[in-house]
Structure 1
């Protein structure tokens, strides 16, 4: 399976708390094989990885790692020192970092002689200006602890923003790439926006944790910190109950009774009024946050939708576009309703071009991994 030059085959590893997603890409990014393996707190069955590879040996392995802290601003070749440093970052991402570390360990056991590269969801956002990443907290706190807005979904935002720009240029958009202003809407179970100017992240909605920002499937998104303090006072909620509520019982599930946006759009749940409110809140937060991203950019040229909701929910895209019409966003109803994969859904004459793009973090990881091993 060895490729020539930069055309290396890549095993892309995306480890989660309950599964590990594997995708084997050939030298030209063709998908050779893909599978999801069950995982638990102990990791996953390495024999299943061996079966998946069928004896093939990729040229390089690319691991999605959620948190790179302030230490890792670029994809990084994994060695013992890097693994130790990633372990020290577990406190910043206790739900995600341990899974990535188990994936790294397991793949190393199966492929000990193959170079592995850590590709970070936070690294795309290391270009945020200080005004965008700094919390207005006591300076002593900022000196003592690694408190800042890190941002997440960076691998998805990096790919989607670049791909949207490629599609627009192919369609004849004539804008200086260094000045191109794009907002990417990564909408899935987790959701975030990214303002990208000239290929660089300049603002995003997630912050110190993935809990900040948009309303999500089960996460609250941004709430008043005074509310959090109120809930903790006088034993209203324990710290564990508060964390469980904000992370797993809020968002669409908390408001509408389902974490699946399709149920709320269709109104199939037991409480149609609650479903309608949940959808209204979701769209309101999304629209106002897109507008905030355009303020960071000084305008808007391209709008991209990606992720499970972004790719497949025409109703949400339509409602967002209607509310953003004042910015020059308008969708072609037929294209929007029938969008499948990478699709230009822009209405004729609209000032802002809007695209639906398939989420392909694997391609971003493969590109970064190849770049590292190529030196």
Structure 2
């Protein structure tokens, strides 16, 4: 079966084609928001058609960030699901509006293909109340739909399923306690019991949690208020600074990728690697505590190849605390 995955972003439309699970093409169309989603999709269609990927059986999967509460599982893209998607806009209006526009154009550009919507937040719909709730008035939280989510749910879910399958091959049938570490532009750590997430480092938006390539991660809310009011940036300026000009890039003083920070010379990255690994250590310890121990550690994400660096920094500390089984193969990479 042929599959085309579409990932809309703020500035580009990324795509990847797969045949029988093997990647056959990938790339990005830049500036697709100003030129319109239909033009961008026509360009993607021409590119993937040249590879022989498109036929009557090609399945298209459209990646969405927000939408898990309305769509706890992948759903077929049609007029009904489009109507339901508009309900999600109250959680994150701009990203969802862009997704709706892309989905509408897709039905016209690929009328013969079966298309599906899949959301990163779906995996975290059933987070325990103690984890997903903020210490705010219930009425306010419900009115504004304030709760914690995870934003790499598709990777955490696939990695957890992979780890569980491997353990069953070893004759271990009990639902494993997994420490799932996603190494991406916005890294994320989740504690997973079997296939149910117990904790996650992200929050109501991807800003909360671990520091990423350009976002600050967890921060005292008064800092954002000070940036907006005392520094004079205003709400939009403060948001732009914390989400686009902070994090690892802010610490280094230039744009950097996660793999540069984890693998680069210390003289070039300063304290950025120490800050990231320390925050990951704290998050991992909290995740293991919530699980009551851990049976396996699994890495995924764009920079999963950097897993040895993270494992060397974190796992020995967990072993010393007696919460990580000390044996060969205690961690693995899901790619």
For this structure pair, what is the TM-score category when the shorter chain's length is used for normalisation?
Answer: 0.7 to 0.9
Structure 2 unaligned blocks of 5 or more = none
CA shift for structure 1 position 233: 3.6
Aligned match of 1:371: none
Secondary structure, counterpart of 2:270 in structure 1 = helix
Distance of 1:307 and 1:199 partners within structure 2: 18
Q: Against the structure 1 CA distance between its residues 46 and 119, is the aligned structure 2 distance closer, same or farther, given a 3 Å change threshold?
A: closer
Distance of 1:45 and 1:188 partners within structure 2: 25
Deviations 1:259-317 (A, max 9, x none): 22444456658xx3x83321111111101001111122111011111223332353233
Distance of 1:143 and 1:95 partners within structure 2: 21
Q: Is the 8 A contact 2:5 2:15 kept in 1?
A: yes
Secondary structure, counterpart of 2:66 in structure 1 = coil
Q: Against the structure 1 CA distance between its residues 254 and 30, is the aligned structure 2 distance closer, same or farther, given a 3 Å change threshold?
A: closer
CA shift for structure 1 position 235: 5.2
Q: Is the 8 A contact 1:329 1:354 kept in 2?
A: no
Distance of 1:206 and 1:97 partners within structure 2: 19
Aligned pairs, number: 327
Q: Is the 8 A contact 1:329 1:352 kept in 2?
A: no
Deviations 1:167-216 (A, max 9, x none): 3444x3x43343x1001111111111111101111211111111111111
Aligned match of 2:14: 21
Identify which of structures 1 and 2 has the higher relative contact order when contacts are C-alpha pairs closer than 8 Å and 6+ apart.
1
Distance of 1:351 and 1:289 partners within structure 2: 23
Aligned match of 1:357: 334
Moved more, 154-163 or 14-23: 14-23
Aligned match of 1:38: 30
Q: Against the structure 1 CA distance between its residues 354 and 69, is the aligned structure 2 distance closer, same or farther, given a 3 Å change threshold?
A: closer
Distance of 1:262 and 1:143 partners within structure 2: 38
CA shift for structure 1 position 246: 0.8
Q: Against the structure 1 CA distance between its residues 317 and 48, is the aligned structure 2 distance closer, same or farther, given a 3 Å change threshold?
A: same
Q: Against the structure 1 CA distance between its residues 34 and 351, is the aligned structure 2 distance closer, same or farther, given a 3 Å change threshold?
A: closer
Q: Is the 8 A contact 1:300 1:352 kept in 2?
A: no
**Please, which of 190, 199, 206 is the counterpart of residue 203 of structure 1?**
199
State the superposition RMSD in angstroms. Answer: 2.7
Q: Is the 8 A contact 2:293 2:323 kept in 1?
A: no
Q: Against the structure 1 CA distance between its residues 234 and 215, is the aligned structure 2 distance closer, same or farther, given a 3 Å change threshold?
A: closer
Q: Against the structure 1 CA distance between its residues 45 and 39, is the aligned structure 2 distance closer, same or farther, given a 3 Å change threshold?
A: same
Q: TM-score normalized by structure 2?
A: 0.87
Q: Is the 8 A contact 2:68 2:119 kept in 1?
A: no
Q: Against the structure 1 CA distance between its residues 183 and 268, is the aligned structure 2 distance closer, same or farther, given a 3 Å change threshold?
A: closer
Q: Is the 8 A contact 1:267 1:276 kept in 2?
A: no
Distance of 1:127 and 1:202 partners within structure 2: 9
Distance of 2:64 and 2:271 partners within structure 1: 35
CA shift for structure 1 position 36: 3.0
